Amino acid sequence: MGYIVGDNGRIYKTYDSGNNWTLLNTGTTDYLESICFTDTNTAYVVGRSGTVLKTINSGASWSIQNFNVFNDLRAIYFVNSNTGFAIGGDSISNAKLLKTNNAGSNWSILNIGNYFVFSIFATDTNIIYLCGIDNSNGNKIILKTIDGGISWTIINSTSTKFFNSINFTNSLNGYIAAGNSILKTTDAGQTWTSYNTELNDWLVSIYFQNSSTGYAIGWYGKIYKTTDSGINWVSQQSNVTTWKLFSVSFTDSLNGFLLGLDTLNSKVVILKTTNGGLGIKENTFNNNISVYPNPVKDNLTIETNLNTPQKLEISNLMGQTIYTYYIYNKATINTSAWASGVYILKIYSDKEYVVRKIVKE
């Protein structure tokens, strides 16, 4: 089963893996923005006007609560069957957290501050991460609490990157879709490494099936997949370049859905995969590339088993291109003059490219 939420209180449900969708009766006309399931029967939905919906029978009926101190509830996340959090605000400039410890029977409201927040992830009942904007200076920020939302700390701030979506695979490892880059932390948000994608990318959602396999999606039909915990990201062919993709979810390792907007025809669209999103051409391209040694001290070797020239590009974490070359089967690059640190290698084929991280010692 699958669900989609949207405007005018609409919730659609599929019983047949997305082939057909049924409109459910929710009892509200408010714009609904986010849904979270705690088991196959129990789900929570939040939306505008501080609306919170709950079902305990897979959407057959819904109970409604309204928290009028909120102008908008934008996202909801439950860490277990009892403890959940929703974020929003009474205006664009005053962020609040809605919190329950008893499966929605009661909710408490906690002030976050002068922020506009739109993405949430909790690794336990006390540790929560938010993405948003600091309204005092316009900077894009990552907020963290370690006391269940009582106090908040800005753990990352930038004036350029938008932190659009956040996801953690455990208490230490987390990822953010940030425009034309994907950020990763391995120390619970203390430090972040940036993996740059295409310059015109606008990645807005990130989702991990498990500790190693994840997807980042965005506008112009952009889809990136990793199978090694974010070390490498492979561009996938969606063939829907006029679509703005907003949300991604998988029911198992193979079956997944992407929700988006077809800007050419102004309609909501769904993209479905039954093989983990892997195309034969993409898989072959990725598997035919070897980069070694990595980490590297002096000479870096790049090999492909393809019989056509491939463009390769190496950039630093600031997005500055430091090396461009066309490779035919094999290339050796002298890195002895490079500063120690992390670099991003991109190797292009006709319609896709592979991203690899290089560590210079």
The CATH number covering residue 153 comes to 2.130.10.10
Mean pLDDT in residue range 303-314: 78
The answer on pLDDT for 15 being more than 80 is yes
Per-residue confidence band for 207, with pLDDT thresholds at 50, 70 and 90: very high
Question: Residue 193: how many CA atoms within 13 Å on its side-chain side?
Answer: 19
Whether 81 and 42 have beta carbons less than 8 Å apart is answered as yes
DSSP H or E run through 285: helix 280-287
Averaged pLDDT of the chain? 88
* Domain final residue, candidates 260, 284, 308: 284
161 shares a domain with 247 = yes
Measured CA to CA, the distance from residue 298 to residue 338 in angstroms comes to: 9
Residues ≥6 apart with Cβ < 8 Å to 101: 82, 83, 125
Place of tokens 């992407």: 258
Nearest Cα to 162, choosing from 208, 83, 93, 218?
Answer: 218
Instruction: Please report, for residues 72, 156, 173, 213, 301, the alpha-carbon distance to residue 233 in angstroms, rounded to integers and kept in the order given.
Output: 34, 23, 16, 10, 19
Measured CA to CA, the distance from residue 185 to residue 344 in angstroms comes to: 16
pLDDT score, position 287? 57
264 shares a domain with 238 = yes
113 shares a domain with 130 = yes
Residues ≥6 apart with Cβ < 8 Å to 229: 169, 173, 211, 212, 214
Least confident of 36-45, 85-94, 103-112, 250-259: 85-94
Q: What pTM, to 2 d.p., does this model score? A: 0.78
* Order of strands, sheet of 243-250, starting from the edge strand that comes earlier in the sequence: 243-250, 256-262, 267-273
Strand, coil or helix: 7: helix
128 shares a domain with 76 = yes
Strand, coil or helix: 8: helix
Whether 202 and 179 have beta carbons less than 8 Å apart is answered as yes
* Side chain identity at residue 68, one-letter code: N
Q: For 179-203, how does the pLDDT look when each residue is reduced to its tens digit (9 = 90+)? A: 889 999 999 999 998 888 876 789 9
Two structure tokens written together for 332: 């050796």
335 shares a domain with 267 = no
309 shares a domain with 252 = no
| Apex 327 CA angle, 322 and 332, nearest 5 | 70
226 shares a domain with 99 = yes
Q: What is the domain count for the chain? A: 2
349 shares a domain with 325 = yes
Residues forming a β-bridge with 343: 316, 358
DSSP H or E run through 267: strand 267-273
224 shares a domain with 89 = yes
Q: Which domain holds residue 294?
A: 288-360
- Phi-psi category of residue 319: left, alpha or beta, with phi > 0 → left and psi -120 to 50 → alpha: left
| Apex 66 CA angle, 64 and 70, nearest 5 | 145
Strand, coil or helix: 200: coil
Q: For 269-293, how does the pLDDT look when each residue is reduced to its tens digit (9 = 90+)? A: 888 888 887 643 333 455 567 889 9
The answer on pLDDT for 16 being more than 50 is yes
* Domain final residue, candidates 284, 314, 335: 284
The CATH number covering residue 322 comes to 2.60.40.3080
* Domain final residue, candidates 284, 305, 337: 284
pLDDT score, position 280? 31
211 shares a domain with 346 = no
Mean pLDDT in residue range 306-333: 81
353 shares a domain with 231 = no
315 shares a domain with 262 = no
